[in-house]
Chain A
Amino acid sequence: MSSTSHNDPSLAILQQFFTTATQHASAAMCHWTRGRVSLTLDELTRVPLEDAMFQFEEAHDLVTMVVLGVDGSDGAQLILAFDDASGRRLAASLLHREPSNGPEWTELEKSAVMETGNILASAYLNELTRLANRKLVPTAPHFVQDYGMSVLEQALLMQAMSSDEVMVSRTRFEFDSEQVNWNLMFFPDETLRDSLQRAVVAAS
């Protein structure tokens, strides 16, 4: 079940696209993890820039993230974020090993979660490409361990340049039928957002 805030018509339109894209990402994730991981769009909301930090529980904490851009877009980003333990659990399940507990992630673990981000982003953007009739391809993934808000800040920057509000999405993940503290966030830049909205209007 997903919801939008403020009964914003343009946000409701975008949510149609994001929900469908998330469903496709979930199908790809199920296939990649042999049915162990699924995701749904939980909320799409628009908040004042000053409040963006409060939308992300781990804003002040160390978060593990896979960050991807969108080729040909001026700053759109997808971020797959999880706490360290969850990320290691995902990597371990993909590598058929026990989760590691060393201070550093191994290159193999990083590679596994980056590939996960790549699969999620590709499925997500493939569906948006079909809906918006505009080719959207993810850039190479970056593995990042940093304070949550420092990365989110960068993703919100393009929206902040032209607006006093920013759009934030929340995604609910389940791993072996249990909710886990992961989040897939999509931050379209203004041009891409307008393009998506026009496509929905044209299709309706």
Chain B
Amino acid sequence: MGQIAVIAAPDVGRTVLGSCIGLVLYDPPAKIGAMAHIVLAEKQNRPGPPGKFADTAVPHMLELLAARGAARRRLIAKLAGGSAMFSGTGPIQVGEANYRSVMRLLKDAHIRIAGEDTGGRKGRRITFDAETGRLVVEIVGQDPLVL
């Protein structure tokens, strides 16, 4: 949670998401991407690493990718998560707020969204393969989805 990982071929990255958003920015020709596990939409004055908040994660991912030679104009985005896990026992608006924030930031950064699977009430296990750029999304009781 709150982490950003730079993943270059042939490596893969994996995480599990509830209301958090898993965001991947990927440069296909360079076969390098960054994956963030975003917990909250806005940093405001809260403590935490850049990957914890959407509004600090996206700029930091762009910096990390640029430092590793990725070209910003080639970047595509894939995202998953943002569930409302328990409507009766926890905050239900966080997943949606995270999603909206990420979408706005990607739009402002002119990064094309190549795939997304968000919302609902179930957790997701995601696996990003930097060799192929595929993001596999697994939901319990459903067939895996490839973005």
Asked if B77 is an interface residue, CB under 8 A from chain A, the answer is no
Q: Which of A98-153 contact B (CB under 8 A)?
A: 139-140, 142, 144-153
Asked if A158 is an interface residue, CB under 8 A from chain B, the answer is yes
Asked if A204 is an interface residue, CB under 8 A from chain B, the answer is no
How many interface residues does chain B have, given as a range? Answer: 20 to 34
How many interface residues does chain A have, given as a range? Answer: 35 or more
Asked if A192 is an interface residue, CB under 8 A from chain B, the answer is no
B2 close to A157 (CB less than 8 A):
no
Q: Report the tally of A-B residue pairs with Cβ distances under 8 A.
A: 103
Taking the closest CB of chain A, its distance from the CB of B74, in whole angstroms, is 29
* Most chain A CB within a 10 A radius of its CB, from B18, B19, B49, B83: B18
Q: Which of B1-55 contact A (CB under 8 A)?
A: 1-3, 14-20, 39-40, 46-49, 51-52
A67 to B124, CA, bound (A): 18
A149 to B94, CA, bound (A): 16
Asked if B123 is an interface residue, CB under 8 A from chain A, the answer is yes
B90 close to A150 (CB less than 8 A):
no
Asked if A3 is an interface residue, CB under 8 A from chain B, the answer is no
B123 close to A146 (CB less than 8 A):
yes
Chain B positions within 8 Å of A, measured between CB atoms, are: 1-3, 14-20, 39-40, 46-49, 51-52, 83, 85-86, 88-91, 94, 122-125, 140
Chain A positions within 8 Å of B, measured between CB atoms, are: 49-50, 52-53, 59-60, 62, 67-69, 74-75, 77, 139-140, 142, 144-158, 160-164
Q: Which 4 A-B pairs rank lowest in CB-CB distance, beginning with the nearest?
A: A150-B123, A69-B89, A149-B16, A150-B18
